[in-house]
Amino acid sequence: MNALAKSDRQLTEQQANFLTFLFAEAKGNVALAGKMAGYHTDSVSNLVKSLREEMIEGAKGVLAMNSPRAAMTMVGYLDDEAFDGSPLFKEKLAVAKEILDRVGIAKNDGTVAVNLSDSNAIFILPAKHAIADG
């Protein structure tokens, strides 16, 4: 089974090759990975449907593997004055931030998530205080 796939499902050698090519030589190009793995071009869409979960796990792995690089890119901009005039500065910074957001390293906006899945839940509010006229 392909190292990128985390499913318990046993993949064929051709499916495993497809996933390997997809995240390596084909650089995410599904049609090229299918061709490299020996699939007919007409069967690639069905292949994608059947390997959807493995492809998502592989994509998560790629993002996780590149998150340290994204973090170092952001920190590198702090120290390197050469980036100040770079035309790609904002784009590279945006990409680095997006990668970090997708792997769960996001800026804290101060909000608190509340999950109320129990219909019998009780929410206790603090006591009211009188507002004094000023």
Show me where the domains of the chain are located. Answer: 13-102
Determine whether 48 is exposed, middle or buried from the number of CB atoms within 10 Å of its CB (0-12, 13-18, 19+): middle
- Per-residue confidence (pLDDT) for residue 110, from 0 to 100: 59
- Rounded to whole angstroms, the Cα distance separating 53 from 5 reads 8
Per-residue pLDDT of the chain (134 residues; tens, 9 = 90+): 344 545 578 999 999 999 999 999 999 999 999 999 999 999 999 999 999 999 999 999 999 998 998 888 888 777 776 566 667 777 888 888 888 888 877 665 656 565 656 667 676 777 887 776 65
Distance of CA 111 to the CA centre of its chain: 22
Q: In whole angstroms, give the CA distance from residue 67 to residue 83.
A: 20
Q: Please enumerate in sequence order all residues whose Cβ is within 8 A of that of 27, keeping only pairs 6 or more positions apart, or say none.
A: none
- Report pLDDT for 88: 77
